[in-house]
Each structure stands twice: as structure tokens, then as C-alpha cells.
Amino acid sequence: MADLINCPVCGTENPSDQEYCRSCQAALAATEEGDASSIQPGQSPTKRQTAELEPILPQWLRDARDAARSTEPEDSNQAMPPQSEKTRPIASEDLLAGLQSQSGQDEDEDVPDWLANITGAQPKPKVEQQPETTGARWVEMGARDDFPSEDAAEEADMPDWLAGLQATQAQPEKDELTDIYNLTRSVNESLPTQPPAQEVPPEAAPHDFASSETPEWLRQMALDADERSATAEAGEQSAELPLDAPDWLSGLGGPGSESTFGESSAEVSEPAPAESEALDLPPSDMPDWLRGSAESEKPAQDTTPKWLREESGGASEPETPAWLASEDTVYLPSEPQQETPEQDALLVDLPDWLKAAAPNSSIFEQPAEQPTSLQETPEPSFDSPDWIKSLGATEASEDVPAADEEKSSPFENAPAFTPDLEGDENLSSLFTEMPDWLSNAIEPTETPSSSASSAPTPITSDDALAPSDLPSWVQAMRPVETGIVQPSLSSDRTLESRGALAGLQGVLPAVPGFAPTSKPKAISIKLNTNEEQLKHAGILEQILAAETSPVPMESYAALRTSRGLRWVLGFLMVVMIAVVLGLRMENFSTPLLAPNETRAAMSLVDALPPNAALLVAVDYEASRAGEMEVAVAPMFDQLMLVKQPRLTFVSTNEVGSMLAERIITGPLAEHNVSYVNLGYLSGGQMGIRAFVKDPVAAAPLSTSLQPAWESTTLTGISQFDQFSAVILITDNAEAARSWIEQTEDVRGSMPFIVISSAQATPMIMPYYDSGQVTGVVSGLYGGAIFEQYIGQPGSARTYWDAYSIGMLFALILVLGGGFWNLVLGWRERAAARGAE
């Protein structure tokens, strides 16, 4: 064993002279010597500003202080409560009570071991039931087998208590919090620290231990133990104690050790009894740092709990408290609340971290049956911590100086807390100072030479959370009070870079066994849906698909004329007209009754003075020339024959001047017509308006580029209202409207005759009805009437039979088509009714 060292990480055996594991490169020196940065027993934490903690002082501490003042000294032999009742306190109001409650609420989350040590939280039962497979687990969970056995022979040359401590320190790993605390302490030592609230005696300085000198208080404790053991040998209880007490307690020496044990146990586990016990102790049994406060508080009262009084009395139940008999120094019972209805009031107020510091097997293995097993088993049936074993073995086998015996059990003699005589200052010292024995016990591990030579250089980073920033009360509450440097299996100083632990170093140790041993559980990505949900999802998909899919537009079959039918009808129409025209048929009589508008036109023609100056506006398209000439010819024939008017042609259409010439050279060719063609009036209605206002300026020249107003035709005419009448020849209702509107205010009573196409007549008739138009001659029909009126058949009569046949043909087609459509509708409705 001296030549080989087991790697705490992988378990590989390595030569003792190697610093790192040859297999996993883990640090071996750190394992041996522990982390120099962890807090050590006897080391005084750096004093921090803890004034803010005063309002949240634990209730047990307040009660203890009050009890110390008010309670009368009671019999120290008061019966101790049954061990079965000593379980986890009910919601002790310690400083980390909130953590406990939180952990209790969230049962699924694993409570960190270090937090469990502090708060008294218990790991989940399932964790306890599972067999420990790795060293890290049993170290953190405190399994008894996980502590490496020490070789008594190797430590024969040193005091037992020191051997026990060294054996403990020789554990391969330490607790992370210890590491952090040691690191903090090392940093604080390098920096100028604030003086502690309570001065540590020079004897308690860490260098005492390094000098291998037994502290004075330990020597006193040893002497006192010897005296007590000598006086209690004859007692019955003293004979039974070795059976129930741990070996380390037995090693302290019989009855004397019993009382010492009881006292020390109370002192270690419970602060309030510790005060009374500390008062019972001789001043020499106390550490120097505790002595002063103990003496000042001694006459005050006895606040020893009942269970401790029974223990100290040793009358009926010399049982060792289960928590003292336990080998576990870390955990508290898992389900204490249901199993322990009654508890000592003072014990309830114990801080969890203190309870965690005290050995408590009942809360680790069998909380209820533990007292019975303790009574029946002469030897401790459980595996006490090695350091306790070492202490017991040393006391039993070797004749060790009393001082050494006292050193071997520092928890027994050193009260965890001193009486609160100085108020807040003592409270501060309570959390900031550490017993010198504890500091001495850990001091050797902090020697600069050893840490510098053997321990590997810790991985540091600026991003890491500085351990020195930990408040003093946290430093004090870390589980270094157990006196055992928890071996930490973690030599991994990996700096966490993400998550809640970002900035912390070595928090999550890389420990064998934590790696997954099997393939990760396959997680199905299939949605856990039922039939209804799938149905709804399908409906939603259909809706979305319908939104994006194009909707075909309803298209109706276009009504297309049948080409054959069109050809047939066209052929029939052309043939009928051609036959009628070719045969010169005059079977149809011309209209006998003239409409009012045509009669008005006839009357106007008759009323015109001879040689009257007539303004003729030619505003029709060339395509309508056939119709318009048929309508114009009879009327102008009548005029030429009767009145011999002077005609002045003007047009708002570009082809109007040409059509006017066509009229002159066509239907009126047989007449000697005096006319002037002014040609085209540009500007539409503005041109008409300009011509109406100033005809000479608007149309100064005729189409022959001669001065129109200087011709004989326009003699005496220079204004619009000087014309005898206005005759408008148009095939467009808009043109008729323009002429009517723009001449409305000028012409006055001037006759206004409109010779229009048949298609424009319906739109011109309102102006006739309103009196704005004197007479209307409409198309072939009006021409035929005028021909009949003058008694000279002309073109109208030639076209009249063809026109009549064409109108009849159209009438037949319209009526026939309507009848056929009606028949089709009946057939469809009959078919629909038959289908129903």
C-alpha cells in the first residue's frame, strides 16, 4: 500500500511517487493530501460581514441563549429520549431552512450531497436502496464500506487522534465543499484578512498541529478522561458502555468516557446542550477559544436536552444515541416526519448541518430499529468511520498519553458552540471561527511545501467564481466541523462554462460510475395523439389545402353563333334583297301616314321663304351615305323645286365636306344649286360654338379656298342667326345634341330640321318633343314619306320593297327565334320534372 496508490477516479494502482494517474491523468497527490484550499479543522474562516444574518438567526440558537439565561440547572441525568424519536428535526429554522423546504417540495430532484450535509436534507430513498457501485457515491453518501481502511501500523508512531485524522485525510478524495473552503482559506491566508470577532488563542493556531505539539486543551481532555474512566470502572453503566458505544468512544475510557461522550455528543450535535456540557467540563477540557465563553456561562443554567440528560445520567438507558453510533456522518433520515412524532425541542432546533456533522446511523440505515441493535450488539454492528475506529483502537490497545487521547476525539471535548455571552459578536465568531483542534487537525495538509510539491497546480480561471467571495457564514457552515476531511473523489477541476454552474470549478466531478453504462434511452419522437386529435389534424390539413388549392372558375359556354346559320341567314338576306332590287319589285306600298316630326319638316319646307339662306350641317359617316342620301334627296328635291334656297354646307366631320359635295353631285345633280361648302369645323362643340358666335372667323374660306362670306350665296350673311333655317344631316345623336345645345341660345325661333339616320332618331325625338327641333326626317322611312309627299318616286321607293322584305325577314327571325327559345325552355322544364 505504501508503494501503490489507487487512483480515485479510475481505480488504477499507481506508484506513490507519481503525481498523476497513468491511466486517467487524474491528480494523485491531491487525493493523498487533500485539497489545500479546503477548510481545515481549527482553521478560522475569514470573517465576513454577517450583520445581515442577525435577523435570521436560527431559532434554536435564540432559544439556547434564552434558555441559558432563564432555565434553572437541571439534572444532567435526565432521561434521554428514545433513539427512535431522534430523527430529522421538523423544519428547523436554520439558515438554509429554505433549501430544505425546497428540496422537500421537489422530490424528483436530487439533493446535492454537500447541500444535504448542510441542510440536513436526505437523499432520496431509492438512492439509499441502490447498492453503491462507485467510490464517489459511497463517499458522498457516506457508505461505511467506502472509507478506506487504515493501517494502524503505519500510524503507530503518531498520536491516535492524529492518526485517525490522517487516516481520514488520506482518503483518496475530498468533498467539493471542503475543497472550495480550503481554496478559500488559502486565498484568505494570502490576503490580509479581517481579524476574527473572537480572537483565536495562539494554541489553536494551525501551526501548532504542524509542530506536532498536542494542544493544551486536548491534553486536558485526555487527563480528565483518564480520571473519569478510573472512577467509573465499577459502575454498571460503565460496563455496558463499551458494548454500545463506538470503539473510538470506548477508547476514550469507560465511564469517564461515557460522560465525556455524552457531553461531547451533545456538544457536537446540539448547541444548547453543548452549553451546559461545556459548563460541566473543566476549563482545561475546553479549547481555549471556547473556554472563556464557557466559564462565563457556566453558572447560568442547564439546558441539556432530555435525551442527553438520560444519557449522562446513565441510570436506565445507557444507549448511545443513534446518530452517534452511526457511521454515517453525512445524511439525515429520509422520512423522519412521519416516523418521529415527538422530538426534543432543542434537537429540533439543531441546524441540519450540525446534525449532518454528527454521526447518525439511524438516519442513514435503519432509523427506527437502530437503538435496539445498538443495545444488543456488544460491538458496534455498524462500521464507524475509520477515523473513529482508529481512535477507538488506539485508545484500547495502546497506552497513549492523555493528551493524545483527547486529541483523538476532538468532537467530544470541543463544544460546537460556546455560550452566547457576547451577543452578536459571539454569533459571528460562531460561524466564522473554528476550534483550534479542528484547525490543527487539518493544518498539516496545508503546509505550503506539501501542497506545492505534491499537489498539482489547480486549474484556475478568471471566470471561475472566486471561493474567497463566499460569505463567512457559509464557510463556517460547511461540513468541515465534522472533523473529518471528506475525501473527495473529484480531482477534476474542470471549469463549468455553461448552465447554472457556470464559473464554478470542479463542481461536477468526473467520477467513474457516473458515465452512462448503457445506451441512452431511445426517446420516441412520435406524437402521442389519439384518434380524435388525428381526425382534427386531418380536418385542419384539408382546410389549409383548400385555402391554397386553386378554385376553378365557373365557365359558361359562350353563346357562339352557328357559322352555318349565319351563312344561311346572310345568304338569304342578300339573295332576297338582290332579287327584289334586281327584279325592280314594287309590291309594298309606301307609308301613307306621316309621323308628326316628318309632317313638321314638310310644313317647314313649305314655310321657308324662297331663296332662303339655309345652313346645312353634314355630320354623318360615309358608311351611312346610302341611307342619308335616300332621306335627304326627297326633301332637297322639294326645296330645290319650290324654294331655290342658298345652301351653305358645313361639317364637324372631316368627311362631311366631301359628303356634301356628293349630295350636290348626286341626288341634287339635276338641280342648279347655289351653295357654299365651308368645309370642316375643327374643335367639335367648341368649333360649333365658335361658328355660332362668329361664322366668318370660324370658317373664313370655303373648300375651294375662296372667301366664303364674300360669295353670292352668303350675301348679307355674317351672323349665325341670319340663316333662315338650319338643316342638320346626321347619323349620330351626339352630333345632333351638340348642334342643338350650342345653337340653342342663338337661333331663337330659327327652324331646325334634323335629317337623321334611323338609328339616331330615337335619341333625337326628345328634342322634337321639347320644341328644340322643328322637324325630323328619319332615314329611308322619312325619305319614302317625303317622296310620297312630293309625288316623285325616287330611291326610297326603289329600296322600299327590299327594305320591307328585310324588315319582315328580321321580324320572322326574331319571332321564330323567340318561339324556338320558348320551346326549348318548355322541353328543359319538362325534362326536369320528368327527372324529379
Partner 1 sequence: MSAIDMLDLFSGGLSFLFTVLILSYLIGDNPLFRIAVYVFVGAASGYVAAVVFWQVLYPLLVLPTLSAIQSASLAQGLYVLMPWLGLILILMKVSSRLSGLARIAMAFLVGAGAAVTLVGALTGTLIPQFNATIDIFGGAVGKGGFELVELLFSGGVVLLGVISTLAYFHFGAHPKADGSMRRLAPVEILAWVGRIFIGITLGVVFAGVYATALTALIERISSLINFIASLFGMF
Q: Which is nearer to partner 1, 92 or 653 (CB)?
A: 653
Q: Which is nearer to partner 1, 382 or 781 (CB)?
A: 781
From residue 738 to residue 777, what is the string marking binding to partner 1 with x (rule CB under 8 A)?
Answer: x-xxx-xx-----------xxxxxxx--xx-xxxx-----
Residue from 1, 230, 581, 822 touching partner 1 (CB under 8 A): that is 581
Q: Which is nearer to partner 1, 721 or 769 (CB)?
A: 769
By C-alpha distance, which of 53, 166, 64, 687 is closest to 450? 166
Sign of the Cα pseudo-torsion (298, 301, 304, 310, in order): positive
Q: Which is nearer to partner 1, 616 or 802 (CB)?
A: 802
From residue 780 to residue 819, what is the string marking binding to partner 1 with x (rule CB under 8 A)?
Answer: xx----------------xx--xx--xx--x---------
Cα→Cα distances 39→96, 175, 185, 444, Å? 20, 11, 6, 12
Residues whose CB falls within 8 Å of the CB of residue 440, separated by 6 or more in sequence, listed in order: 41, 42, 204, 206, 208, 209, 210, 215
Minimum CB–partner distance for residue 528 and partner 1 (Å): 44
Q: Is 240 exposed, middle or buried (0-12, 13-18, 19+ CB in 10 A)?
A: middle
CA–CA dist 729, 735 (Å, integer)? 9
> Which residues share a beta bridge with 648?
615, 676
Q: Which is nearer to partner 1, 195 or 626 (CB)?
A: 626
Q: Could you give the angle at the alpha carbon of 612 between the alpha carbons of 607 and 614, nearest 5°?
A: 100
Residue from 127, 577, 664, 750 touching partner 1 (CB under 8 A): that is 577
Number of residues that bind partner 1 (CB under 8 A): 65
Rule CB under 8 A: say whether 834 interacts with partner 1: no
Residue from 152, 421, 608, 658 touching partner 1 (CB under 8 A): that is 658
Residue from 202, 378, 626, 816 touching partner 1 (CB under 8 A): that is 626
Residue from 73, 283, 700, 793 touching partner 1 (CB under 8 A): that is 700
Q: Which is nearer to partner 1, 493 or 737 (CB)?
A: 737
Question: What is the phi/psi pair of residue 437, to 5°?
Answer: -65, -35
CA–CA dist 37, 178 (Å, integer)? 8
CA–CA dist 444, 453 (Å, integer)? 14
CA–CA dist 514, 136 (Å, integer)? 9
Residues of the chain by 3-state class (helix, strand, coil), percent to 5: 55, 5, 40
Helices 596-607 and 779-790: angle between axes, nearest 10 degrees: 50
Q: Pick the stretch among 5-13, 325-333, 526-534, 565-573 that binds partner 1 (CB under 8 A).
A: 565-573
Minimum CB–partner distance for residue 689 and partner 1 (Å): 5
Q: Which is nearer to partner 1, 91 or 572 (CB)?
A: 572
Subset of 225-284 contacting partner 1 (CB under 8 A): none
DSSP secondary structure code for residue 246 in this structure: -
Residues whose CB falls within 8 Å of the CB of residue 5, separated by 6 or more in sequence, listed in order: 13, 14, 15, 16, 18, 28, 31, 32, 172
Subset of 668-697 contacting partner 1 (CB under 8 A): 679-680, 682-686, 689
67, 209 in Cβ contact below 8 A? Answer: no
Residue from 125, 570, 816, 817 touching partner 1 (CB under 8 A): that is 570
Helices 288-297 and 216-231: angle between axes, nearest 10 degrees: 60
Q: Which is nearer to partner 1, 304 or 657 (CB)?
A: 657
Minimum CB–partner distance for residue 691 and partner 1 (Å): 12
Residue from 101, 377, 381, 623 touching partner 1 (CB under 8 A): that is 623
Residues whose CB falls within 8 Å of the CB of residue 633, separated by 6 or more in sequence, listed in order: 666, 667, 668, 783, 794, 795, 796
Q: Which residues bind partner 1 (CB under 8 A)?
A: 563, 566-567, 570, 573-574, 577-578, 581-582, 623-627, 630, 654-655, 657-658, 679-680, 682-686, 689, 699-701, 703, 705, 731, 737-738, 740-742, 744-745, 757-763, 766-767, 769-772, 778-781, 798-799, 802-803, 806-807, 810
